[in-house]
Chain A
Amino acid sequence: MPSLKDLKIRINSVKSTRKITSAMKMVAAAKLRRAQEQAEASRPYAERMNRMIASLAGAASQTGGPKLLAGTGKDDVHLLVVFTADRGLCGGFNSSIIRAARRRIRALSTGGKTVKIYCVGKRGRDALKREFGEMIVNSVQDVTRKGVAFSSADEIAAGILKMFEDGEFDVCSVLFNRFQSAMTQIVTEQQIIPASMPETGEGPAETESGALYEYEPDEEAILAALLPRNVATQIFTALLESNASEHGARMTAMDNATRNAGDMIDKLTLNYNRARQAAITKELIEIISGAEAV
């Protein structure tokens, strides 16, 4: 049985924990709203980019298309870009991504492929380093600290494209949490090199009225400019989704923590009162039996 003093200390410490978690929840909620707005605002660009690529890919597919679209013709080396948070305290957010990454890496390795890992976010690197340290080729962190800027996605993309040009990998996919709601995030894997195409059907693309597109300068040149751009856009989308998911997950986790702390305080207070009452009763008994003995 802990003493009255111990209980008091315990209650105070849980109370301050609750203050911290509820403050973190508020911060996460505010950040989540901003992240969600940003993710929504970026959607038109990605949509239109996809539409353009789809129509171009239809036109260029007869000629084979550039390497970013058609691939290198093999799939021996995989580059996996893993998006995690820089900080913990966000429930299952990081662990679910890491679990998925681990499973994917194992599956690829047993399939005889070489795997390379690019970590975005500190948590992912720390967790994967232990097991797959020699596979990690690059890692960045603190990307999302001051909000997500397109320039940071562009930088990551430039690094990846450079690796691709140097022939360091054949297939590249991103692994990130897609934002569903504050409660649920869906671990998503998306192949970005060679570009996975939305189905467009056969033949060159047509507009709504059935006319054929003209291309200026020509399909190849536009694709050559558009595809690297598309890689950057997809990484940007992944960053935004991951960022929104992180804040959603943290908000939910902190909400739970705050509630648990409240329950714990109630329980401890009950114990404290019981102990206090027991002490009073004991004292009374001592006094009464002392008086009777006289």
Chain B
Amino acid sequence: MAETTQFELVSPEKLLYSEETEMVVVPGAEGNFGVLPRHAPMISTLRPGVIDVYQKGSVAERIFVAGGFAEVTETRCTVLAEEALPLADVDVAKVDKDLADLRDDLKDAKADLERERIEARITVLEAMRAAASH
């Protein structure tokens, strides 16, 4: 059997995913990168985007992450995600509605801290919307 990479997806609440994979494509902060077995060790931040998990030469799983960190070693790829959701479960209509609500909230928000949080949330949802509508 060909070499594989141990792919782990962890959210603060729990270990979501742990599997041997052929290749993982991760949305790094400076561009997507693919992780194959014997990848050079690296640590990267992630932007909101989609992780593609490849099994037997094709995409087996697509997972949306709202951001986080990835640690890659020769045998392992660990993603610490802030929020993760299989792309198939993303409900575009609901995302649109949430986006509209958040934009309303943003108009009402007074405190800087609150405003920043809402803006960050909007960025994430927009990325989710873009990923889902492809």
Contacts and interface: CB of A to CB of B under 8 A. Distances in A.
B44 A222 contact: yes
B71 interface: yes
Contacts of A209: 73-74
Given A214-B41, A236-B12, A222 B69 contact: yes
Contact of B13 (A38, A213, A216, A226): A38
Contacts of A211: 40-41, 74
Contacts of B41: 207, 211-214
A135 interface: no
B13 A55 contact: no
B43 interface: yes
Interface in B59-103: 69, 71, 73-74, 78, 80, 82
Contact of B43 (A162, A222, A229): A222
Interface residues of A, number: 33
A64 B44 CA distance: 20
B44 A215 contact: yes
A56 B71 CA distance: 11
A221 interface: yes
B113 interface: yes
A73 B40 CA distance: 36
A119 to B, nearest CB: 20
A214 B28 CA distance: 13
Contacts of A207: 41, 73-74
B110 interface: no
A233 interface: yes
A52 B80 CA distance: 10
B69 A52 contact: yes
Interface string A215-227: 1110001100110
A198 to B, nearest CB: 16
Given A48-B80, A158-B117, A236-B12, A214 B71 contact: no
B18 to A, nearest CB: 9
A294 interface: no
Nearest to A225: B45
Contacts of A51: 71
A147 B108 CA distance: 29
A29 to B, nearest CB: 22
A207 B75 CA distance: 10
Nearest to A51: B71
Nearest to A226: B69
Q: Which 3 A-B pairs have the closest CB atoms?
A: A41-B14, A214-B42, A216-B44
7 contacts: A38-B13, A45-B13, A52-B43, A150-B12, A214-B43, A216-B44, A226-B69
Interface of A: 38, 41-42, 44-45, 48-49, 51-52, 55-56, 150, 153, 158, 162, 207-209, 211-217, 221-222, 225-226, 229, 232-233, 236
